[in-house]
Amino acid sequence: MSAQWWRALSLAALGLALAVAGPVGSAWAASSYLVVFVDGRTLEVTAARLLDERHLRLELGEGAAVTVPLLRVERVIEAEVEEEAQELTVPSCPTGFVAEELPQGVPFAGEIVRASRATNLHPWLVAAVVEAESAFDPWAVSRVGARGLMQLMPAVWVEQGVVNPHDVRANLQAGCRHLQGLLQRYGNLALALAAYNAGAGVVDRAAGVPPYRETREFLRRVLSKFCPGGVPAEVAKAAREDGPGSGG
């Protein structure tokens, strides 16, 4: 990202923020989005929407807007902050691959297991991320251009060499490689998931899980499916099946 381009964008946003400060300041904060760029910098906007396959339109308020290349954008999240953000309980469930079948009825189970094995990720973790990101819809496209099962932004799937982000196998493999890279970077499941949702720059700046409601709800959804109560989901399932009343 060129310094000149960023400087022009930042000055425009700053001027607009000053213009709307005062009586409407709370409205700005309540309906804003955080754009996270690939170099870690961020910009708060009133709206962000896909303009075409390669560009994102960022609304700065008061009728001002700017168009940016999608390849410059890592993530876009709602900027709403949890009023009383509580510390999230970080489970100790292992994230490495295990040869465990996914629950019956999970879509694309074979491809999820295959991608998980190739990247040393727990297939239940990958399935939980896919469910939270796209509800297992390979044709899902977000308002800001994230695509496919694992909702990859162009900056990620281009970096991973993916030609068609709606291809199930290619999307899963690229998304798993991206998630594994974040796990290696942070050495912590909660931080890796937060970075997957909000961008690494936001996690680095927060020095932990950021307070944004969208990110925290994403973590809760994934962890509740993959690691409920700090117990790996497949272990918890087996315990229920073998427990009292199971008839075994």
Instruction: Give pLDDT tens digits along the chain (248 positions).
Output: 343 433 344 433 333 332 322 222 323 333 789 988 988 888 999 998 888 888 889 998 888 999 999 889 988 888 888 776 566 666 678 899 999 889 889 999 999 999 999 999 999 999 999 999 999 999 999 888 899 999 999 888 888 888 899 999 999 999 999 999 999 999 999 999 999 999 998 999 888 899 999 999 999 999 988 886 555 565 555 545 555 444 44
Q: How many other β-carbons are positioned within 10 Å of the β-carbon of residue 20?
A: 15
Q: Is residue 93 part of a domain?
A: no
CATH number, domain with residue 126:
1.10.530.10
Same domain, residue pair 118 and 199: yes
Same domain, residue pair 145 and 236: yes
Which residues are within 8 A (CB) of 22 and not within 5 positions of it... i.e. 6 or more apart?
none
Task: Residue 10: name the closest of 42, 39, 34 by CA.
Answer: 42
Distance CA 241, CA 110 (A): 23
| Beta bridge partner(s), residue 67 | 57
Cα angle value 93/97/100 (rounded, 5°): 90
Distance CA 158, CA 22 (A): 42
Same domain, residue pair 129 and 8: no
Catalytic residue set = 133
Range of the domain at 202: 109-240
CATH number, domain with residue 23:
2.30.30.100
Query: Which run of H or of E encompasses 101?
Result: none
Q: What is the pLDDT of residue 215?
A: 92
Number of domains in the chain: 2
Same domain, residue pair 131 and 233: yes
pTM to 2 decimals?
0.76
Cα angle value 184/186/190 (rounded, 5°): 110
Same domain, residue pair 231 and 153: yes
Same domain, residue pair 43 and 161: no
